[in-house]
Amino acid sequence: MTLAQYWHCFVGIQVREWLRFWQQRTRFFSALVRPLLWLVVFAAGFRAVLGVSIIPPYDTYITYETYIAPGLCGMIILFNSMQGALSMVYDRELGSMRVLLMSPLPRPFLLVTKLLAMGMVSMAQVYLFLLIARLLDVEPPDWGYLAVLPALLLTSLMLGALGLLIATWIKQLENFAGVMNFVIFPMFFLSSALYPLWRMKEASPWLYWICQFNPFTHAVEAIRFALYLQWNPQAFGITVLVAVVLAVLATAGFRPQRTRILSSGGKAG
């Protein structure tokens, strides 16, 4: 196989994902409403309860809107990754995933390219959210929009691989919604997306350690530091490690013939 063939396949999968996205434009706007609502409501609630609009990290003071904006970027990627995994289950049931994987190109390349395509759509939504958030006084440095790109890409790969791994073992489309909720909400709330970890430690040490073992926490911290032109090697390294492990497990275990149980009692594939 030549590099041109790899590139042609990469572009083809990207174009297919963007065409699907264009046909589901309401999903794009609904993905923006959710984090913007949280940005407004949670910030207002924080000020109502504590009577302040700033939170003290270890070395500076920032507004609550500024603090949670990176966590809401992670929320966009998290929800989109699970929805992307749902579409992969749907594609598998229709047989289009099997057609894709019949390509002579290596299966890991095809699946990782699929994850990258879904991640690109998520990142487009994240950047639009950040632009709208500027109207709410969330104003990271101009270079932060570029510096955060690697962290967003890694987070997309990590969460996309997690969704693919879940999709690998889901045999029926109807079961996926429950699994999504079981994964999304614990990952989001048991992280530093909405509250600093030191505040979590003051409230409950065992919740603090759960947050520390949550890979989404480190992905959010990587986004948060990069967006404000800082470097967090621990968060970045953990995100890379988890993304690689999940991608290996997901690509190695994915079987396109693993479809729903037929009404006759037999199993397809």
Q: Are 197 and 217 in contact (CB under 8 A)?
A: yes
Q: Are 161 and 250 in contact (CB under 8 A)?
A: yes
Q: Is the pLDDT of residue 260 over 70?
A: no
Q: Are 31 and 134 in contact (CB under 8 A)?
A: no
CA distance 98 to 94: 9
pLDDT at 220: 93
Max distance between CA atoms of the chain, in angstroms, equals 64
Q: Are 154 and 216 in contact (CB under 8 A)?
A: no
Q: What are phi and psi of 196, to 5 degrees?
A: -65, 150
Q: Report the pLDDT averaged over residues 14-39.
A: 74
Per-residue pLDDT of 47-83, as tens digits, reads 665 555 555 554 455 677 788 889 899 999 998 888 7
Rg (CA), the chain: 20
CA distance 169 to 157: 19
What is the percentage of the chain residues whose pLDDT exceeds 70? 75
What is the pTM for the complete model shown? Answer: 0.81
